[in-house]
């Protein structure tokens, strides 16, 4: 029941209509009997979202493309690891002060750990907030990273920050295959509604590679389809999405949520 004491949670992004965050968080709020509601807000400037959180006393927010890095300047406090990553995907409102955290890193590194990270090389496609969280986690676990990004300057800056290599899209034309054991897409390429698109030509994949996509709408992206046809092992974005959401819910409510409830909500619900 929504009444005068219902607490509001939300996601800020652009685009945001594809997001399954409202489905998983509303399912959890209901399941744990919390008088709350979670809505999706598509906005142009994250500053406006931050202002709204303070004005309307929104208790918590998820932050997605393209705001994960821009939001750093707008918060009152940022956790040490989110600051080192340079990316925030979670905001907690404590008595009008806004605290930033990153739950993407832990959630993305989790499935990679089962294959081993130390000593392996990772081609990371993209140089935004999701890429930063992943690169931070991979480097911490002893992996090597090659960043591949459309905008050269942005990719080069990130490579310098994290002491990685950089490849521009034009360099890819000269390669037979990507020089990596693991390939990870952190861009929005392939996301609904442009589901035919893929961030990398299938010719650059080889059967020994592990291919991961952070896109989860659809779960079976064109990149992962191409990778499976090549014989690669694949990791889809749904597990990362669920675990980053679970960590958000814990930050907001202090409850460690049941992942199966979240999975059911994400798989059954219409966005
Ligand atoms: P976030 O910080 O939330 O991860 P972002 O800062 O918008 O989002 O970053 C998205 C990444 O996806 C960027 O690296 C972007 O490339 P640019 O640096 O060239 O902008 C990449 N990206 C988005 N759309 C893309 C596309 N159509 N082709 C290639 N890369 C794309």
Angle at alpha carbon of residue 62, lines to 194 and 44, rounded to 5°: 60
pLDDT digits (tens, 9 = 90+) for 202-238: 999 999 999 999 999 999 999 999 999 999 999 999 9
**Residues in the chain, overall count:** 271
Is the pTM higher than 0.85? The answer reads: yes
Active site residue 14: no
Q: Determine the distance separating the centroid of ligand 1 and the alpha carbon of 123, expressed in angstroms.
A: 15
Give the per-residue pLDDT at 1. Answer: 82
Q: What is the mean pLDDT of residues 154-172?
A: 95
| pLDDT score recorded for residue 48 | 98
Looking at residue 210, its pLDDT comes to: 98
For residue 270, the model assigns a pLDDT of 66
The backbone torsions φ and ψ at residue 120, rounded to the nearest 5 degrees and listed phi first, read -90, 160
- Best CA proximity match to 59, nearest among 4, 22, 23, 96: 96
Residues 78 and 98: their CA atoms lie apart, in Å, by: 9
189 DSSP 8-state letter: T
pLDDT single digits (tens) 112-122: 999 999 999 99
Among the listed residues 3, 100, 91, 104, the one whose alpha carbon sits nearest the alpha carbon of residue 53? 91
Q: Which of 149, 170, 194, 195 for a ligand 1 pocket mutation test, highest count of atoms within 8 Å of Cβ?
A: 149
Average pLDDT of the chain, as a whole number? 96
The pLDDT value recorded for residue 269 is 82
Interval between CA 151 and ligand 1 midpoint (Å): 8
- For residue 6, the 8-state DSSP code is P
Alpha-carbon distance of 229 to 46, in angstroms, equals: 40
- CA separation for the pair 133, 104 (Å, rounded): 6
Identify the pLDDT of residue 271: 62
Residue 49 burial by CB count (10 A; 0-12/13-18/19+): exposed, middle or buried? buried
**Tokens 């798989």 appear where?**
267
pLDDT in tens, 251-269: 999 999 999 999 999 988 8
Say if CB 140 and CB 108 are below 8 A apart.
Answer: no
Distance (Å, rounded) from C-alpha 82 to C-alpha 185? 20
Rounded distance, CA 135 to CA 132, Å?
5
Res 65 pLDDT > 90: no
Model confidence at 169, in pLDDT bands (50, 70, 90)? confident
Dist. CA 194–CA 86, nearest whole Å: 28
Ligand 1 pocket member 194 (CB < 6 A): no
For residue 132, the model assigns a pLDDT of 94
pLDDT for 131-143, tens place per residue?
999 999 999 999 9
Separation of CA 130 and ligand 1 centre (Å): 9
Q: Are 42 and 15 in contact (CB under 8 A)?
A: yes
Residue matched to tokens 């998820």: 62
């Amino acid at each position: 029941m929504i009444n005068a004491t219902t607490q509001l949670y939300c996601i800020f992004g652009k685009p945001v209509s594809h997001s399954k965050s409202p489905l998983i968080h509303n399912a959890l709020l209901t399941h744990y009997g919390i008088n709350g509601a979670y809505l999706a807000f598509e906005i142009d400037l994250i500053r406006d979202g931050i202002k709204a959180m303070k004005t309307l006393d929104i208790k918590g927010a998820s932050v997605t493309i393209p705001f994960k890095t821009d939001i750093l300047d707008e918060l009152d406090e940022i956790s040490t690891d989110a600051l080192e990553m340079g990316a925030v995907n979670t905001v907690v409102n404590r008595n009008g002060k806004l605290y930033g955290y990153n739950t993407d890193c832990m959630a993305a590194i989790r499935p990679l750990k089962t294959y081993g990270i130390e000593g392996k090389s990772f081609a990371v496609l993209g140089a935004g907030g999701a890429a930063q969280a992943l690169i931070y986690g991979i480097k911490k676990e002893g992996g090597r990273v090659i960043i591949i990004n459309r905008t050269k300057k942005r990719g080069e800056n990130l490579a310098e920050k994290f002491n990685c290599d950089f490849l521009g899209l034009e360099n890819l034309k000269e390669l037979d295959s990507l020089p990596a054991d693991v390939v990870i897409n952190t861009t929005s390429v392939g996301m609904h509604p442009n589901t035919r698109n893929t961030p990398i030509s299938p010719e650059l994949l080889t059967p020994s590679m592990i291919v991961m996509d952070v896109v989860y709408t659809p779960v079976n992206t064109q990149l992962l389809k191409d990778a499976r046809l090549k014989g690669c092992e694949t990791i889809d974005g749904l597990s990362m999405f669920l675990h980053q959401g679970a960590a958000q819910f814990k930050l907001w409510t202090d409850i460690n949520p049941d992942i199966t409830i979240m999975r059911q909500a994400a798989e059954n619900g219409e966005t």
